[in-house]
Structure formats: structure tokens, C-alpha cells
Amino acid sequence: MNFKCELSYLLNGKMVLGWVLLGALVSASVPARAVEAPSGEFNRRATATATAQILAGIVPNPAEPASSRLLDQDAWKEHQKWMTAQWNEVKARIKTVEGWRDHELKIANPQKKTLLYPFSGPDFFNAYAFFPDHSRYVFFSLERPGALPDLESVTPQQFAKLLTDVRGAFRDIFERNYFITSYMNKQLTTPWVRGTVPVMATMMALMNRRIVRIEPIDLFPELTRAYDTPDGKRPRMLLRGVRMEFSSPNAPGVQQLYYFSLDATDKALDYYPEFLNWVGQNRPASALIKSASYLLHDNQFSKTRAMILESADVLVQDDTGIPYRFISQSPWQTKLYGKYFKPIKPMEYGYQKDLDAAFKTKALTTDLPFAFGYHWRGSQGGLILASKDRIAN
């Protein structure tokens, strides 16, 4: 039985179909933990890394016999050519971000910190470009975690379709530097690309990271059991989680990425009252918010907004994140980069008069050498750096 779950949010009097989730093509009667869990074989470091590398258009080293047959196919050679060309352009963008980060974003003891990234989708690129040294990353958004595809059993025809689906999933993040939520409805629910895990793993491979382990996690097993009962009261969307451990080939230690799929409106969070406490427990944290549909401007997301303001001491965001009025006063200090552009259609409700005025005060602004946010053509974005420590203008 196929199923579809749509979540619409009323923001400032306007109904926005901001997050849309199309359930994976599985029976609704099967517990989701059984569906989402990667198989034991694919938890092994070599297999997970090799799978991600193949999806990224990279020849695995060392090569695995099971994958050798795939790399001889014309479909993979075409995919490799496309991914390489696209990634070369994205690498230049990331390098610019890294240069800005090294000069402007000074964080003490980053190896001891957690990055919070609400409404992230599978955007590992930006999280790692801005905050590469954090020990833990906590993402949450609507899209389900899913699992890596099983390359050992695919036919040539299926493999070709898988690679086409991968390119479709990456097209927007490559071109625009953000995902379009309504497009992810289809991009991350194909028979072969299911959920955020394949995309995040592929990004890790592109950024030369090795996958150590991928495993499903359940923060609240008692609630999961209660909500799995047929007649029990349950949220429209169940909490799903995955933990990915990864490493750099040139550095010791392992970093962790936690990804959770859930509805983060205040009303829906009543079903998981301890979720935000868990997310914000490792404080002071850093936070990243971009291309977030202005969700945190609305009181339907007041709990998530309050958690970030309380837990984070460094915040990098565009205008779609926490409204400027919350961070333009003590204990926050802010610095503005680039230019402020009025929100794109149909998000005009996100216009901030006070932020517009602040960006027009030249003494408070400096250039931004890369696009950031919805205004992605050229270097048109505006970035807000806020800190509970003093930031020199």
C-alpha cells in the first residue's frame, strides 16, 4: 500500500506547502525501523565508502569485486563525467566559503562542539564547509533517512536508473547551493534513491571523507512502540533517526552526523517532548540555518527557535533563519555580510524591515564573496554572523 503525507504550514496568514513528504514505497503496516535500517553488510566501512564513491563518480580504492562490473558500464562513465564536471564547479564555491570561514569565523575548541542544522535536508556540503572541525553534527528536517542502495544486486538497467536518480537529487544543490523541498518529494523517494542517507554519503565521498558506520537510532523507543500500535494516538509523522560516523583519511578521530526526520512544529513536537532537549544538550553549540522557508519567523516553530537561541553561541544564517529582532540585542552581537534582498515569491511575508535597514548601514556590512541563500545567481546573498561573544565590526 502506497501512502502520502503532506505537511503544510500557515505562516503569517499564508499557507505554504513548505515541507512535503512522500512516503517510501513500502507497506504502512511494516515498522519503519525495519524499512530504514541499512543491512549489516552495508555498515562495513569499505562497502559503505565504496558505494558512496561510486554514486559520486569516483573509482573506489581499493576496488571491490562486486562493484568492478558496474564501472565498466557506459552509464557509469557518463555519470562520472557529469559528476566530475559539476563537482569541479562546486569545489571552487566551497573553497571560497572556506577562505571566508578561516578569516571571519573564529570558534574556540571546535573539536568539542556540536553543529545544529534545523531544516537541513541532506545538506552536508554547507555544514562541513562552514564547520569542518566539529565533532558532532545534528540535522533535522522532514525527509526520511533511508539507506544506501545495494549495489551488489542491481542489474545494469537498474544501475543506470539509479545513477540518473542520483544526478536528479544533486542538480539543485550543485546549481543553487540549496535543495528545493517540493522537488525532494520526488528526488528522495525513487526506487533507488531513498531518503537523505544516499545523498549525504555521496557528499562525504565528494569531500574525501570515509564512512565508518551508518546505523539507525531510536531516541525514544518507548514512544516508538506506543505509536506503532494500530489503535494508539500517534503523530502524523513518526520520528526517524540515523547516525553516520565518518573520518578524514589524513586525520585521526571520527566525527558523527545525526540526522532526524520529523515534523518540527510546536504542536507536532508535543509527541516528542524531549527531542529538542536532546538536540540542544551539548551546549554551547554552533548553528547553521539557510534556505529555511522563513519557518522560524512563525510561532508554530517557537520551540525550535527558542532551543537554538538558548543552546547556540555562534549562528551563521541567511534571512530565512531566526528573525533579526531576536539576535540584534544582548547577549548577541551580529555582523552582516553582502546585501539584503527582499524574499523571493511566494515568501514575501518573510520581509524584515529592521534587517533591511541594518544592511543599508554600510558601516555594519562587508562584502560576501559567495552566494548564500535563495538569491543564488552571482554573489547576491546576505549572511548574518551572530555570536554571544563580541564580534568586531
Look at residue 149 and tell me if it is in a domain. yes
User: Please, are residues 144 and 240 in contact by the beta-carbon 8 Å criterion?
Assistant: yes
The residue count of the chain comes to 393
Look at residue 372 and tell me if it is in a domain. no
Positive or negative: CA dihedral 26, 29, 34, 36: positive
**What three-state secondary structure class fits 333?**
strand
Half-sphere exposure of 248 (CA within 13 A, CB side): 10
The answer to which of 3-17, 48-62, 243-257 has the lowest mean pLDDT is 3-17
What is the per-residue pLDDT across 168-197, written as a single tens digit (0 to 9) for each?
A: 889 888 777 666 665 556 666 677 778 899
**What three-state secondary structure class fits 165?**
helix
What is the per-residue pLDDT across 21-71, written as a single tens digit (0 to 9) for each?
A: 333 322 222 222 323 334 443 335 568 999 999 999 999 987 777 677 899
Confidence (pLDDT) at 269 = 98
User: Please, are residues 373 and 319 in contact by the beta-carbon 8 Å criterion?
Assistant: yes
Confidence (pLDDT) at 16 = 42
Q: How far apart are the first and last CA of the chain?
A: 57
Look at residue 124 and tell me if it is in a domain. yes
Look at residue 8 and tell me if it is in a domain. no
Q: What would the DSSP string read from start to end of 132-149? A: TT-SEEEEEESS---B--
Q: What would the DSSP string read from start to end of 291-317? A: S-TTGGGSGGGHHHHHHHHHHEEEEEE
What is the per-residue pLDDT across 288-327, written as a single tens digit (0 to 9) for each?
A: 999 999 999 999 999 999 999 999 999 999 999 999 999 9
Look at residue 55 and tell me if it is in a domain. yes
Give the span between the Cα atoms of 140 and 258, in whole angstroms: 8
- Model pTM? 0.86
Query: Which runs of E-coded beta strand occur in 236-304?
Result: 240-247, 255-261, 285-289
The β-bridge partners of 96 are none
What mean pLDDT value characterizes the chain? 84
- Secondary structure (H, E, C), 92-140: HHHHHHHHHHHHHCCCCCHHHCEEEEECCCCCHHHHHHHCCCCCEEEEE
Could you tell me the residue range of the domain that residue 62 belongs to? 31-307
Total number of domains in the chain: 1
Look at residue 152 and tell me if it is in a domain. yes
Give the span between the Cα atoms of 44 and 38, in whole angstroms: 10
Look at residue 123 and tell me if it is in a domain. yes
User: Please, are residues 193 and 199 in contact by the beta-carbon 8 Å criterion?
Assistant: yes
Look at residue 96 and tell me if it is in a domain. yes
Confidence (pLDDT) at 101 = 96
